[in-house]
Amino acid sequence: MTPALPRVTYSNVAADFTPLHDWLDQAMRVFRIDVLGRAWPNIVNGRQDVSGRAYEVYSPFDRELLVARLVEADKKAVKVAVEAARAAFPGWSGLAYAERVEAMRRFARALEARKYQLGMAAMFEVGKSRLEAIGEAEEAVDLIDWYCDEMERNRGFERAMSRAVPQEETQCRLRPIGAFAVIAPFNFPVALACNMLGACLVAGNTAVFKPSPGAGLTGSLIAEAAKAAELPEGVLNLVCGEATGEILVDSPGIDGVAFTGSHEVGMKIFRKFASGAHMRPVIAEMGGKNPAYVTALADLDAAAEGVARSAFGLTGEKCSACSVVYVDRRIESAFLEQLRNKTQAMKIGTPEERATFIGPVIDEAAVERYEAIVRSARQVGRIVHGGNRVRGGALARGLFVEPTIVADLPCDHWLNREEVFLPFLSVQAFERLEDALALGNGVNYGLTAGLYSQDPDDIELFKTNAQAGVLYVNRRSGATTGAWPGYQTFCGWKGSGVDGKGGLGPWTIPRYMREQSLTLMHVQ
C-alpha cells in the first residue's frame, strides 16, 4: 500500500519532497522489474487487439533500456476502433449527465490509484524528472475531477430561455457530437491525454485515443484505468503507432478531432476537416513562443529563476516553454549573470537521481535539431551558457544536451520567432517595454507570456497588450509555465489554437459539444 506522500504540483516547488523521493527510490526499482519491457496490446471495444506491426520503445535517458513492446495499429484495427466508438456513442451520450459524471469520477479514482505508476512510466518513456512526472500524474486526476465538477455546475449545459407566450417552453442545450479521435503528444503523455479525454467523454462523446508513438506505456495505463472504472466497452479505445494517427484522421467515421502537437500538423488536420461536406470540429493546441519580459523594476532573482525554470524544465520540450526573454538594457548584464547562475545550478541527469531537473531530449532527431540551432546561433549571436551535447559517464547512453542561453541575436532572427521545443533561450535587450511587446506579439504564436516588474504601469501595459491566451506576472515558479486545472485556463491565440478557447477552464467542455434549441408548446 502506498503511504501518504506530499502532493506535487507545478507551483509548490518549495515543499519538502524527501518522503516522496525516499519512497520512489524503492518503487522505481520494482517498476523496472514488474512493468518495463512488457508487451502492451491495443484496446479496441474493451478487448486486446494486436492487429498491426509490433515495435519497441527505448528510454531517451538510456537507449539500451526497453520501456515497452507495442503494436502500431493497422488500417483494419483503426477501422474497428472507430466503429466501436460509434457503436458506443448512443448509449454513452444517452445517459443522464449525472450518470456520466459518476462513471468519470470512477475513472479519476482509478487514475489516482495508479498515479505513481503513471508518473514513473512518464519518467522512463519521456525522461521526465521525478517531480515533473509525478506532478503530471496529479494533474491528470485533477483534470478529470475538474471537468466532472464543471458538468455538474452547468447542470449538463442545459438552461431555460425566455417564453414568447405562456404555453411555450424553450431550452438551450449543448449536445455531444459523436466519436472523437484524441491525439496526444509525447511531452505530457498523461496530463494532456486526460485533458482531452476527460472533457471529451464527460460531454458524452466517445474516443479513439492515439498516444504519441513512444508514449504507449502511459497510454496503456490510462486505458487500464478506464477498464478498472468500468467505462462501457467502446467508449475509450486505444490505438498506438506513428502512421496510426494519419489513418485515424482520414477515417470517415470520425466526427471530431482533439489534437495537441505542432502548428504544422494541427493546421493540416484543420484544413482537411474544413474541406469535407461539412465542417467537423478540430480542437487543437499547437505550441508557442512564450516570451517573457523583465523590466528595470523587476525582482531579478525571481525573474531569473522563473525564466530558467520555464525555459529549461522538461528540457524545453513544453509548448509553454519560455524561449525568448526581453530584458531592459539597463539591467541586462545583471539579469544575465543571475540567469546563468540559476541555469548552472540545474542538475542534468536521469529521473533515477532525485536532484535531477533537466533530463534528456526525446530522440536523436531532437539532438540533431539542437546542434543545428546552436550552430546557427553562434554565427550571429553570443553563447552565454551551454551549447554542447552531454556525453560520457552515467549519461553516456542517453540523449542529453546542455541548457543553452544566447544573447545578441538580431531581433528578426528566426530563433526569436519560431518554436524550437528544446532547452534554448534567446535574450533580447530593449529600450522600451512597448517595443519589446511589439516584438513578442509579432510572431505566429500566442500561447503564454510572462512579465517581471513592480511597476503598476508596466503590469497594466502587459495585461492590455500581450497577445497570448495565458499571462503570468511576477511568477517565480515559472515565467510562462505551470497552468493547473481550475486555477489557470490554457488557451492558445493565433497560431497556437483554433477557436480562441482552451483547456483546464470553464469553456473547455462546450468545445466538445454543439448547441441545440428545443421549443415545446404545451397544449391547454
For 407, phi and psi rounded to 5 degrees?
Answer: -120, 165
pLDDT digits (tens, 9 = 90+) for 274-294: 888 888 999 999 999 999 999
Grid coordinates standing for 348?
Answer: 542534468
Confidence grade of residue 392 (pLDDT, cut at 50, 70, 90): confident
Question: What letter does residue 2 receive in the DSSP assignment?
Answer: P
- Sign of the alpha-carbon dihedral angle for 82, 136, 489, 302: negative
pLDDT digits (tens, 9 = 90+) for 290-343: 999 999 999 999 999 999 999 999 999 999 999 999 999 999 999 999 999 999
Count CA atoms within 13 Å of residue 117 on its CB side: 20
Query: CB-based contacts of 517: which residues, under 8 Å, 6+ apart?
Result: 161, 170, 171, 172, 173
For strand 236-238 and strand 256-260, is the pairing parallel, antiparallel, or unpaired?
unpaired
Cα separations (Å) of 83 from 89, 104, 233, 252?
A: 10, 22, 12, 10
Task: Give the pLDDT confidence score for residue 182 in this predicted structure.
Answer: 98
Query: CB-based contacts of 41: which residues, under 8 Å, 6+ apart?
Result: 48, 49, 50, 71
Cα separations (Å) of 120 from 27, 229, 245, 447?
A: 9, 21, 25, 28
Q: How far apart are CA 279 and CA 204, in angstroms?
A: 20
pLDDT digits (tens, 9 = 90+) for 416-431: 999 999 999 999 999 9
Task: Give the pLDDT confidence score for residue 1 in this predicted structure.
Answer: 59
**DSSP per residue, 157-197:** GEEE---SSTTEEEEEEEEE--EEEEE--SSSTTHHHHHHH
The residues pairing with 471 across neighbouring beta strands, listed in sequence order, are 449
Q: How far apart are CA 221 and CA 38, in angstroms?
A: 12
Looking at every residue in the chain, the average pLDDT score rounds to 95
Question: What letter does residue 156 receive in the DSSP assignment?
Answer: G
* Among 5-19, 158-172, 426-440, 484-498, the least confident range: 5-19
- Dihedral of CA atoms 81, 86, 88, 93 in degrees, nearest 10, equals 140
Task: Give the pLDDT confidence score for residue 412 in this predicted structure.
Answer: 94
Task: Give the pLDDT confidence score for residue 98 in this predicted structure.
Answer: 98
pLDDT digits (tens, 9 = 90+) for 333-375: 999 999 999 999 999 999 999 999 999 999 999 999 999 999 9
pTM: 0.95
Q: Whats the size of the chain, residue-wise?
A: 524
Q: How far apart are CA 8 and CA 137, in angstroms?
A: 9
Query: CB-based contacts of 502: which residues, under 8 Å, 6+ apart?
Result: 285, 469, 470, 489, 490, 491, 492, 508
**Cα–Cα nearest to 114, from 225, 259, 227:** 225
| Domains of the chain and CATH, by start | 18-286+501-519 (3.40.605.10), 291-484 (3.40.309.10)
pLDDT digits (tens, 9 = 90+) for 150-192: 999 999 999 998 988 888 999 999 999 999 999 999 999 999 9
Q: How far apart are CA 232 and CA 225, in angstroms?
A: 12
- How much of the chain, in percent, has pLDDT values that exceed 90? 92
Contact 373, 403 (CB under 8 A): no
Burial of 56 (0-12, 13-18, 19+ CB in 10 A): exposed
